[in-house]
Amino acid sequence: MNLERVEQVAKAVLYEGYMLYPYRPSSVKNQQRWNFGVLYPQAYSEAQGGTDACSMRTECLVRGNSGTKLEVRLRFLQLQLRLTQRSAEANPACDVWQEAVERDVSVPIFDIETALSRPMIHAFEFPAQSVIEPGGAGEGPKSRVVRGQSAVRGELEIAAHLVGENTFKVSTVVRNSSALEDPEASRDNALLQSLVSTHTILGVEGGEFVSLLEPPQELQEQAAACQNVGAWPVLVGEPGQHDTLLASPIILYDYPQIAPESAGDLFDGTEIDEILSLRIMTLTDDEKREIRQSDERARQILERTETMPAEQFMKLHGAVRGLRPVKESTP
């Protein structure tokens, strides 16, 4: 699997909805940012009656044989708190903001025959930690930044079943098994131990993935039987390639691409670059100051938009792709 080829799309999925418009902590629309692919701790999910998911299931079809090799990678964001203490007093005033840390879990490459005999369980854990750093420019000489993460634990369960001649159904289930002390905790507290923007990337050697959106006729029944919960598997890479599959928490088509006109990541649902860039330009000085003192990615968005050349901005204004000749009507 060549992850570099799909890195742009995977990154866009990873940060989709990371900072909802208009990119400042006090925004009304920014009160609940983590709304794509969130897997909460199981205890919290059960306390909510299962309305907040704690697991994600991906099922796909693979053409190959018992020696066909598979690779599975899990990617998600882990939420951490960033506290800026503006003095050295015993109880200093603090600004609190949420940041995200990228997490990547790789399952060693395995033969599909291994998953045929029994489900494979791959556990992972990221322990709690706290880091203290000096405050940045404009935050005061005695300020400091404290970043804290809660422990996150989970598992990947992978299984395979023969569903036709040289055709296998491969299932991947991601579960959040983090220990939550208080199942009745608020959503904000539960998010500290959640998997955010969860998605998996699957690669195959000695075989090929079958498109679930446009399966061949002989596999339409098997494709329709695949159950995907919280995941939308599509082929990625160059059109016509079948060696990499992205199970996304948002709906995509096979072979998604990042628009070449985009000057950089906006981390917002659907990334309508022109509209969002115009809105960023209308922010007040106070709103811009708030952005610069909060999240590093938001600061980069602001600086990139403010320095965008006029010719680059004009490229965002309308692009037509995929034109096809209109078929002549039959007399």
pLDDT at 305: 74
Alpha-carbon distances, residue 324 vs 12, 97, 320, 321, 327 (angstroms): 28, 48, 11, 9, 9
CB burial of residue 31 (10 Å; 0-12, 13-18, 19+): exposed
pLDDT at 294: 64
Selection from 58, 35, 21, 112 nearest residue 234 by Cα: 58
> Do the beta carbons of residue 165 and residue 5 sit within 8 Å?
no
Residue position matching structure tokens 């005033």: 93
pLDDT at 74: 96
Tokens of 305: 């938009």
Selection from 197, 221, 113, 198 nearest residue 158 by Cα: 113
* Length of the chain (residues): 331
Strand partners, 129: 149
Selection from 58, 72, 63 nearest residue 206 by Cα: 63
Selection from 208, 212, 180, 207 nearest residue 194 by Cα: 180
Q: List the pLDDT tens digit at each of the 331 positions of the chain.
A: 656 667 777 777 777 666 555 445 555 555 555 568 899 999 999 998 989 999 999 999 999 998 999 999 999 999 888 887 766 554 555 667 778 889 999 999 999 999 998 999 999 999 999 988 876 655 555 678 888 999 999 999 999 999 999 999 999 999 999 998 777 778 888 989 999 989 999 999 999 999 999 999 999 999 999 999 999 999 998 899 999 999 999 888 998 876 554 545 545 444 455 556 666 676 778 777 777 766 677 777 777 777 776 666 565 555 544 545 555 555 4
H or E element that contains 188: helix 187-191
Give domain limits for the chain: 13-32+259-316, 34-81+100-122+156-255
pTM of the prediction? 0.79
Tokens of 51: 């309305």
pLDDT at 85: 74
Q: Please state whether 318 falls in left (phi above 0), alpha (psi between -120 and 50) or beta.
A: left
pLDDT at 266: 47
pLDDT at 96: 73
pLDDT at 83: 80
